[in-house]
Structure 1
Amino acid sequence: MPSDTIPPPTAGTDPSPWHARVSGTTVFAAALMIFGGAMALFEGIAALAKDDLFVATRHYVFEFSLTGWGWVHLILGIVVILAGCAVLTGALWARFLGVAVAGLSAIANFLWVPYYPFWALTLVAVNIFVVWALCTGMHREAGDGRPA
Structure 2
Amino acid sequence: MSQPTAPTPGSSRPAAPATDDGVGTPWAGGGTLFAGFLLLVDGVLGVIKGVAGIATNDVYAAVNDYVFKFNVTAWGWIHLILGVVLIFVGWGILKGATWARAVGTALVSLNLIANFMWLPYTPIWAIVTIAIDVFIIWALCTDRSEPVV
TM-based fold match above 0.5: yes
* Count of residues paired in the alignment: 121
Aligned to 1:134: 140
| 1:42 aligned onto 2:48 | yes
Cα distance in 1, alignment partners of residues 76 and 97 from structure 2: 30
Moved over 4 A (4+): none
Q: What TM-score, normalized to structure 2? A: 0.76
Listed as ranges, the matches of 1:48-63 within 5 Å are 48-50=54-56, 52-63=58-69
Cα deviation digits, residues 17-75 of structure 1 (max 9, x gap): xxxxx932211000000001100110000011115331111111111100000000000
Identity %: 44
**How big is the alpha-carbon RMSD for the aligned residues of Structure 1 and Structure 2?**
1.9
Which amino acid letter does the alignment assign opposite residue 47 of structure 1?
A: G
Structure 2 unaligned spans of 5+:
1-27
Structure 1 unaligned spans of 5+:
1-21
| 1:91 aligned onto 2:81 | no
Q: What TM-score, normalized to structure 1? A: 0.77
Listed as ranges, the matches of 1:1-148 within 5 Å are 23-50=29-56, 52-138=58-144, 141=145
Per the alignment, in what secondary structure is the counterpart of residue 23 of structure 1?
Answer: helix
Cα deviation digits, residues 75-131 of structure 1 (max 9, x gap): 000000000000112222110011011111111111100001000110011011100
Which amino acid letter does the alignment assign opposite residue 121 of structure 1?
A: I
